[in-house]
Structure 1
């Protein structure tokens, strides 16, 4: 009996070790040409998780990891073109019309990304061997050519929810009438006016995608010539897995293919890291709570126009709460005593602190996801892109408010801040939303790693490829079939009319002959 027990223990200890030993360690290359640190952070988080599971990671990015990780090689390509920072500063001076800005934005992004992939260090990677390519998607999908170059499956990681550009990569249906549009937020789709707006937005999106693809084809053909690589169109149809940093509890339920997987909140740690001592002490000592103020990684508080800056300083300086403000350079002019500034803050860890009672944000999806996870009410100040839709969703759910940046005033800002701080319903609703957001069978990281490794195990998982990805618009909606049916129906009617007319004419002739006789 003792021998049997000892044997059982030995087997129990040895088997997991043997299992770990035979678990395949793959070489994974990530190309993340994102121009914003918040986008690259999501890719870094996934890759860190994969590295911890024993995979050998190489990441091409413009942003360095905050901490070194084993099995992780970074190839840092500094951004030579500073148009992003200039453009974001312009957005704070005058909020943009994204429809008008998009074409020039696309054109300049493609130039920057092309410089990245032609950097000597990146070119040298083409001589190596990789088992999987992960693309941190940032508009420039011509980099999908790295997959066929290595003969490796391709996984696309997108920091937002499902859009037409993403859906096309795997053929996922959009269902624009019923699904939530990120630029509109949640609206009642039973109303004709809502569906009309969605229809128009879908049309605009298709035009912009066509423009982007037309411009990208040149860069694809330049980097991946047709004599050695599949066509740009074929590469876009050969994505094995699409990971979306969204979750149905905020983006709304919608149909997904098996290879389109939501991993919303991927960058959020289940257990926050310790804060730097000065920040920890500042938040711990916030007797009346603390407010976290951040405009994201691209927009900078230091670029705020002077009159807008004065509004924030005066309004927040009057509060009894302590303020933790992401301020990117030097000291804050006329800085109130209740304000602490830092050029960069560990946002996820800050929002996890029990004394943070309000998050003043531009409405980026990453920040809202972190506030949702930690149950922190929001005051949104959307500037551009989908930020208005994100904040609109928060308002609809009842755990935040919005202040219009264009009409921002000290009175309005103070009123809305006090409303969220003094009305307990916002805090209560944020906690309910947090519970809903956290309730999953697996964490976002576990889900993402499982499906990435699934694709590796099954050599690209071709059995998950949806035929809809191979069909054009006319084939997908069977317009060609409908056209043939209509033509056959039309011809049948024409033939029937001709035959009928012939019969009538023949019968008429016979009747005429009878009358003559």
Structure 2
């Protein structure tokens, strides 16, 4: 039976309603700019994952970086601004065994990073975007470059700050409580609870960090006012920081210790990790699939360190150890050929690390200990042997050893026997695998994925035009005010002043009474005589 004409509009209305309901979780399409001027490809993987997801939800996204996507994505535009890497010389020195004292290196790292960002802000590509386009939101990547907060005022839109590491005081732009008495410093490790001596160390580290922050801020301000001068109507650096709507941090509390977090500080650790791995290149897939008996070891020093720059004796130690193993090895190697490559080693210039770690036959990850690598290894339940090189890597690997799911070999002590011993200890005991699988379960047990969480909050900021109601009033206070020192001074000073005034009044009253008494005695004496 053919439906009557009168029923057709109802059917169309029903179809339209279903479509509206299906799309109800998508906000109106927004124009989103992500600015991430870094020389480290690993630092942009998280933002790229987030932007691709936002693009799939109908937003128009633009990524300004030195690392465009290998394949185009609908609604996703790359604005390529090449960066002359200032880290290459430093990284080569690390691979040669040079000093890795980060207290000395941090000012150098900060200067290079700020120069990257300054060059990008003043590039023709970025300046053209500023002149010709308007954006609803700016997502800014932080790595020793706080002055780019001025981009929000430049583009007249809300700002989301993406932090490549976990939360710390260096990136505390929103006034999150520090809690020195209960939250251990990054360099102290995940001490929970802290002993009295830990508290002493934590206090000293926090004092040192405050001094470092003061230094970094002084350098940052010069870059900020060069690009965003107040005489042209831009807010001060302090005011620009207060305009940050949201902070996305590349961490999750099961990796560290619980700490108080403001509602606009969101932990999205593991953002770059895919719940379903992408298909691997054919040669890598075959190499992994064919290792059912003994498994595969993956070796990578990350995106900045080049394995071909390894000092000769350290290179010989590694290939001497790996070449004698029964396991197959995949090694991230940055040239087409590896000298004296063992038969059980497969090399590749850029390898899909997350997808490789997800393979069933992957048994061990030999890594430099970067945060992204540690996180991906934890997520996929793969134990590690760490060879930390610089920065937070020493701490990251030390934490893995303390937690019981890996071993550490320092670069200075890297020999064939030392590496072989660490590999055999990890592969020869089930406790490493059991420990990391338990930690992986904790890490994955969330109400929603890191990607969905980040997407919600980014769209929340867009929906609410910057979500000013998330702003914490404590961020407006200086150190004296946050510590209530002004209140303490008031509480001490007022009673003191009142006491002093009362003292003066009492002394005057006493003098007046004494004068009256003296006058009375004199009067009586005069009457008597």
Question: TM-score, normalising length from structure 2?
Answer: 0.92
Which residue number in structure 1 is paired with residue 113 of structure 2?
A: 109
Which of 482, 487, 493 aligns to 1:481? It is: 487
Cα deviation 1:147-185 (Å, max 9, x = unaligned): 112221100111111011222x21111212322422232
Mapped partners of 1:254, 1:9: distance in 2: 53
Q: Greater CA deviation, 223-232 or 372-381?
A: 223-232
Within the alignment, does 1:85 sit opposite 2:88 as a pair? yes
Mapped partners of 2:74, 2:440: distance in 1: 32
**Secondary structure at 1:124 match in 2:** helix
Which residue number in structure 2 is paired with residue 44 of structure 1?
A: 48
1:459 Cα deviation (Å)? 0.4
**Secondary structure at 1:133 match in 2:** strand
Mapped partners of 1:95, 1:347: distance in 2: 28
Rate the CA distance shift 1:73–1:283 in 2: closer, same or farther, 3 A: same
Within the alignment, does 1:252 sit opposite 2:257 as a pair? yes
**Secondary structure at 1:246 match in 2:** coil
Contact 1:351 1:374 in 2 (8 A): yes
1:67 Cα deviation (Å)? 2.1
Which residue number in structure 2 is paired with residue 120 of structure 1?
A: 124
Mapped partners of 1:495, 1:155: distance in 2: 53
1:511 Cα deviation (Å)? 8.9
Rate the CA distance shift 1:177–1:35 in 2: closer, same or farther, 3 A: farther
Contact 1:188 1:194 in 2 (8 A): no
Which residue number in structure 2 is paired with residue 307 of structure 1?
A: 313
Mapped partners of 2:37, 2:64: distance in 1: 7
Mapped partners of 2:75, 2:355: distance in 1: 25
Which residue number in structure 1 is paired with residue 17 of structure 2?
A: 15
Cα deviation 1:193-251 (Å, max 9, x = unaligned): 21222222222222222222212222222222212211111001110010011101112
Mapped partners of 2:306, 2:14: distance in 1: 55
1:476 Cα deviation (Å)? 1.3
Which residue number in structure 2 is paired with residue 421 of structure 1?
A: 427
Map 1:355-394 → 2, pairs under 5 A: 355-394=361-400
**Secondary structure at 2:243 match in 1:** coil
Which residue number in structure 1 is paired with residue 343 of structure 2?
A: 337
Mapped partners of 2:454, 2:472: distance in 1: 20
Which of 183, 192, 196 aligns to 1:192? It is: 196
Which residue number in structure 2 is paired with residue 98 of structure 1?
A: 102
Runs (5+) with no aligned partner, structure 2: none
Which residue number in structure 2 is paired with residue 166 of structure 1?
A: 171
**Secondary structure at 2:34 match in 1:** strand
Mapped partners of 1:202, 1:211: distance in 2: 14
1:496 Cα deviation (Å)? 4.7
Contact 1:403 1:416 in 2 (8 A): yes
Map 1:316-465 → 2, pairs under 5 A: 316-465=322-471
Question: TM-score, normalising length from structure 1?
Answer: 0.94
Which of 134, 138, 163 aligns to 1:133? It is: 138
Cα deviation 1:113-144 (Å, max 9, x = unaligned): 21111111110111211000010112112222
**Secondary structure at 1:469 match in 2:** helix
Larger Rg: 2
Which residue number in structure 2 is paired with residue 175 of structure 1?
A: 179
Contact 2:87 2:112 in 1 (8 A): no
Which residue number in structure 2 is paired with residue 277 of structure 1?
A: 282
Rate the CA distance shift 1:70–1:187 in 2: closer, same or farther, 3 A: same
Cα deviation 1:409-429 (Å, max 9, x = unaligned): 222211111010010011111
Runs (5+) with no aligned partner, structure 1: none
Cα deviation 1:226-277 (Å, max 9, x = unaligned): 1221111100111001001110111221111111001110000010001111
Mapped partners of 1:506, 1:122: distance in 2: 80
Contact 1:132 1:154 in 2 (8 A): yes
Contact 2:383 2:405 in 1 (8 A): yes
Rate the CA distance shift 1:13–1:205 in 2: closer, same or farther, 3 A: farther
1:325 Cα deviation (Å)? 0.7
Cα deviation 1:349-395 (Å, max 9, x = unaligned): 00000111111111111111111111000111212211122222222
Contact 2:27 2:459 in 1 (8 A): no
Q: Greater CA deviation, 60-69 or 448-457?
A: 60-69
1:503 Cα deviation (Å)? 6.6
Cα deviation 1:72-121 (Å, max 9, x = unaligned): 111111112x3211111112322421111112222222222211111111
**Secondary structure at 1:176 match in 2:** coil
Within the alignment, does 1:34 sit opposite 2:34 as a pair? no
Mapped partners of 1:396, 1:505: distance in 2: 74
1:481 Cα deviation (Å)? 1.4
Rate the CA distance shift 1:7–1:426 in 2: closer, same or farther, 3 A: farther
Mapped partners of 1:78, 1:115: distance in 2: 10
Mapped partners of 2:18, 2:34: distance in 1: 30
Q: CA RMSD in A?
A: 2.4
